[in-house]
Structure 1
């Protein structure tokens, strides 16, 4: 007996008019819709949360353009598979190569695509849940147009449920009545695939009278998870609560909010990345090891994944929460950038310019530069800033043990110049 095709796959539309959500891309007059209707699209990267239509849009493009369609998963495909598809596409004008989770391709795998994309051998459609600015190399990114997919709204998810009830023969045969939808929507986390899979599980559980209530859904799901809507305001509220708890040195609250995200299926790299940012933004030189710890956590959870990554996240979370805090680095770069905007492109003082040629030396480049290591304590009190900014202090060490040491050291070196 052939395996049953999952409801999410049965419901996958093949026309833009049937796509639910993403009106800014698929709606009348939208840029992507216009490109598809004119029969020619550039290589694109579709960036958005899980289950919001990235794979569906790729399929709609191929179906509408009647183009040869090749699919690779970055999880299971390597350079060999990429090259094999490219070789096949050379004989197929207009071929489309769809790569799911393209952010998982390493640099070598992404580089293998460059020539084929640049020469038009294939039109690349990449799908990613991660910011392509960080996860896709710049050479490939410059050859593709990035389209951002928005989280599906509750109204979109409700419409998807109703469409399944009306159009799918198997779901229609189950005679379901949606009495309550909160559990279906919240447990799906804004992921249309999860939503439809859960609806199918509920249908197979044969609820009494065909009535779908929140209690029926929770029972069918077989576990009562902490509700966490990755697609709505709660996503931003909880990450905000998490960051503020870390900043506020409350490891208990930070662990709770992080557990809410983990139970809700939040991307492990999203949580880890925010801790890397916080390690510099809110701890900085008060405890420089915090950034080392956070960066190591990001690398580790990327390799390990759930559920073991929970332990690594917990270790980093508690360490950051218990670290002394300082935002001096944030204030320092903010002040420096404000000076750049105010004073424009000030010339580099001649004495600290490099002088690799005789002409430059004759022009005074490097003249009177004082090599720090030739002086007592490896320090010479000379001016490094442009003349218009001479003596300007941007960095004010925070009032914590580590930065007070830095303050004393700087004051000893610079005497009264910077008023440390």
Structure 2
């Protein structure tokens, strides 16, 4: 027999619970107009192309590219509001092709009834090619106003077909001052924010929270909400001790495989190349702080030692290998100091890419000239047959030549002639190398010019 339905008097009526109050502060306080948005002054400045389009309700399909917490979702919601369109959101992390097709079918039905749909696709770069292609006909027909959000470079992560149908808008991380403005608004808003709760916080504390948020408004509001909850049990004042608890595990934005990773290693490399040890040390520290594998950094700096320092200071390569070995032996954090010293030294010492350029020029000749025969005088002759065929014939043993170098002896295939790849720079140890090599090249050119009509036997020939 079924039990009678009863309702306990002390059980809350879930239907009467204010759902808004249950949502996180960052969601409750989300801007409702373009004027309430913080940051993105360049993109949404009065009179800008995007702002005029949004305010007129004539929005286009677009890709919003920017770091976390910069306002991509908020802007998509505002696009739908200003365009009087239905807003639908899917996540590329959670949704598959069946869910995409269902949303598109609903949008098509809505379009047939004369109403637009703003389809917001979060983390759109996580969709594969087939999933991205599913949007194309619907964007072309106008069935949906497509808004894709990504933290990764669209040029690398999105299909060219999708990019050609959407305009890419670059959004920037939000400044500390703008984040503080958003937090002040949340503290003063009694309807959706923390206003009326008696929360007190100093400007210095707000600035510290904004700094810990690292350009992410959502993160700042979440930290502020946690601090406010702790402060309610201490009279409403957010103290330094409260912040120590809230910000204990602060981390900086860093993607070990994304564009930000490659931007930072590029900044480290270019700081070394431009002889800026302070900049090099900063970017090295940023990457270590973000969790980059120190072994990767050691490998990249070893590459810098041979590519950008080169023979201007051959000690740099040895120092790079030793720093790498030191880190392997000590690990973190002790071994990181060896990497820091290496970055400083590489940036401070003389630079030359002459070896790097020479190697590239030699590779181009190898591709262009193909498989050329080794000149007969340079060939190895370990057997009697090879000697009878003339292998090694005419070779001059340099140690027996005057000055220790057989100047009239070429090192290149006959079809190529003498080539010049390595051009030492007048910096560091290459200054002396340049003096010697320039002198030898001039002498070799002269000697080979004299021997053009004279065979190695000493007799002249008109051939």
**Normalising TM by the smaller chain, what interval?**
0.5 to 0.7
- Structure 1 residues 262-277: aligned runs within 5 Å: 262=291
Q: Which residue does 1:134 correspond to in 2?
A: 156
Instruction: Choose from 60, 79, 85 the match for 2:97.
Output: 79
State the Cα distance separating 1:182 from its structure 2 match: 2.8
CA contact (8 A) 1:101 1:127 kept: yes
CA shift in 2, pair 1:241/1:135, >3 Å:
closer
CA contact (8 A) 1:44 1:124 kept: yes
Which consecutive residues of structure 1, in runs of 5 or more, have no partner in the other structure? 263-267, 287-310, 337-351, 353-369, 385-389, 401-414
Is the counterpart of residue 124 in structure 1 residue 149 in structure 2? no
In 1, Cα distance between equivalents of 2:298 and 2:63: 26
In 2, Cα distance between equivalents of 1:150 and 1:125: 17
Q: Which residue does 2:208 correspond to in 1?
A: 183
Is the counterpart of residue 67 in structure 1 residue 81 in structure 2? no
Instruction: Choose from 105, 124, 139 the match for 1:102.
Output: 124
State the Cα distance separating 1:73 from its structure 2 match: 0.8
In 2, Cα distance between equivalents of 1:272 and 1:53: 35
Q: Which residue does 1:114 correspond to in 2?
A: 136
What SS class does the counterpart of residue 85 from structure 2 fall into?
Answer: coil
Q: Which residue does 1:219 correspond to in 2?
A: 245
State the Cα distance separating 1:202 from its structure 2 match: 0.9
State the Cα distance separating 1:116 from its structure 2 match: 2.2
- Structure 1 residues 213-252: aligned runs within 5 Å: 213-221=239-247, 223-225=248-250, 228=252, 243=269
Q: Which residue does 1:258 correspond to in 2?
A: 287
- Structure 1 residues 6-405: aligned runs within 5 Å: 6-93=24-111, 94-169=116-191, 171-179=194-202, 180-206=205-231, 208-221=234-247, 223-225=248-250, 228=252, 243=269, 256-262=285-291, 328=353, 332=357, 372-373=370-371, 375-376=373-374, 382=415, 393=421
CA contact (8 A) 1:281 1:329 kept: no
- Number of aligned residues: 329
In 1, Cα distance between equivalents of 2:99 and 2:30: 26
What SS class does the counterpart of residue 130 from structure 1 fall into?
Answer: coil
CA shift in 2, pair 1:331/1:38, >3 Å:
farther
CA shift in 2, pair 1:392/1:165, >3 Å:
same
Q: Which residue does 1:364 correspond to in 2?
A: none
CA shift in 2, pair 1:229/1:114, >3 Å:
closer
State the Cα distance separating 1:376 from its structure 2 match: 4.3
CA contact (8 A) 2:213 2:220 kept: yes
Larger-Rg structure: 2
CA contact (8 A) 2:26 2:218 kept: yes
In 1, Cα distance between equivalents of 2:75 and 2:355: 40
CA shift in 2, pair 1:74/1:330, >3 Å:
farther
In 2, Cα distance between equivalents of 1:87 and 1:275: 52
TM-score (norm 2): 0.57
CA shift in 2, pair 1:33/1:254, >3 Å:
closer
**What value does the CA root-mean-square deviation take over the aligned residues?**
5.1
What SS class does the counterpart of residue 178 from structure 1 fall into?
Answer: coil
